[in-house]
Amino acid sequence: MLSIAERHKYILDNLNRYGFVRITDVANELGVTKVTIRKDVKILESKGLLYKVHGSARPTNPHVNDTDVHIKDSMNPDAKHRIAARAVGLVEQTDSIILSSGSTVYALGEEIRRRAWHNLNIVTPFLRLGVLLSEAENVNVVQLGGCIHRKSLSVLGEAASRALDDCICSKLFFGVDGIDLEYGVTTSTIDEAKLVRKMMRSCSRSIVVADSSKFGQRGFGRICSLEDIDVIVTDSGISEQAALMVEDAGVDLIIVE
């Protein structure tokens, strides 16, 4: 039987490798009780080495706060621009698409503005993005109205949701605050989660554009389960375990280097 130190090392090694561990799995693999592993996890948490969440453990606190979009712009900018450069290839010349809010979506908007289009329709709640794309030739922008959420510079609420009743689009591109393999795709506010769900119902395909730091994170507002997403575009920082679980959920995974 492994010593306490050996069990702790096993737990931490697997956390570093997979991004999370389940208490039941560790107990079965080591041939000990779940009570023993729960005690080990509690000790490691008290030392600040992991964070316990409902029968599992993670390297850090997965819960994220609502963050100002200007701060988000400075987080992982290189990865976001690579993701945007790849995601723009999913947009067809005569598409009608919805672009939600967020720093990665804004980077996608910059890629769209750089390219020539025949007749592209874009619907967006994101005020910054609407202004940016109003300068693009042969791009028709429908700016949703509603209550302005200051941190995201995006509109939310019933007015924005009702306007989507008149839209039938081919693709939705949206950013997220968390992609948790157990709890699904989340954002930082309930109102934004509701609006994104409405956007999904207005589109044939739902495409998440998110850098790899979003995996294992959880926002306050749950958008949907992982299985409800068609495509995720992310960077090569995604763990092997997360990539396998995304693909097992039937989601097309595009990883940019």
Same domain, 52 and 75: no
Q: Are residues 144 and 40 in the same domain?
A: no
* pLDDT value for 207: 98
Task: Tell me if 231 is assigned to some domain.
Answer: yes
Top mean pLDDT of 45-59, 164-178, 210-224 is at 164-178
Q: Given a cut of 90, is residue 51 above it in pLDDT?
A: no
For residue 241, give every residue at least 6 positions away whose Cβ sits within 8 Å of its Cβ, in sequence order, or none: 17, 18, 19
Which residues have CB under 8 Å from 218's CB, separation 6+? 62, 63, 64, 178, 180, 183, 186
The backbone region for 250, taken as left when phi is positive above 0, alpha when psi lies in -120 to 50, beta otherwise, is left
Q: What is the pTM of this model?
A: 0.75
Same domain, 154 and 180: yes
Residue whose structure tokens are 């989660």: 193
- Rounded Cα gap, residues 212 and 170, in angstroms: 25
Instruction: Give the integer Cα–Cα distance in Å for 90 and 108.
Output: 11
Query: Domain range for residue 20?
Result: 4-58
Q: Is the dihedral of CA 234, 108, 151, 159 positive or negative?
A: negative
Average pLDDT over residues 128-152: 89
CA-based radius of gyration for the chain: 20
Residue 114 lies in a domain: yes
Q: What is the pLDDT of residue 70?
A: 55
pLDDT of 96 higher than 80? yes
Q: How far apart are CA 237 and CA 223, in angstroms?
A: 23
**Residue 52 and residue 136 in one domain:** no
Q: Which of 142, 107, 137 is nearest to 122 (CA)?
A: 142
Q: Is residue 113 part of a domain?
A: yes
Instruction: Report the C-alpha gap between 238 and 111 in whole angstroms.
Output: 23
Measured over the CA atoms of residue 230, residue 97, residue 183 and residue 232, the dihedral's sign is: positive
Query: In this prediction, what percent of the chain has a pLDDT beyond 70?
Result: 93
Name the domain count of the chain.
2
Indicate if the pLDDT at residue 55 is higher than 60.
Answer: yes
CB atoms near residue 145 (< 10 Å): 12
Residue 63 domain-assigned (yes or no): no
- Give yes or no for residue 199 having a pLDDT over 80: yes
Identify whether the C-beta of residue 217 lies closer than 8 Å to the C-beta of residue 243: no
54 plus 180 within the same structural domain:
no
Q: State the CATH number of the domain containing residue 9.
A: 1.10.10.10
Do 96 and 36 reside in the same domain of the chain?
no
176 shares a domain with 220: yes
Say if residue 48 is in the same domain as residue 75.
no
211-245 per-position pLDDT tens digit: 998 988 888 899 999 999 999 999 999 988 889 88
Q: Tens digit of pLDDT for each residue in 154-163?
A: 888 899 999 9
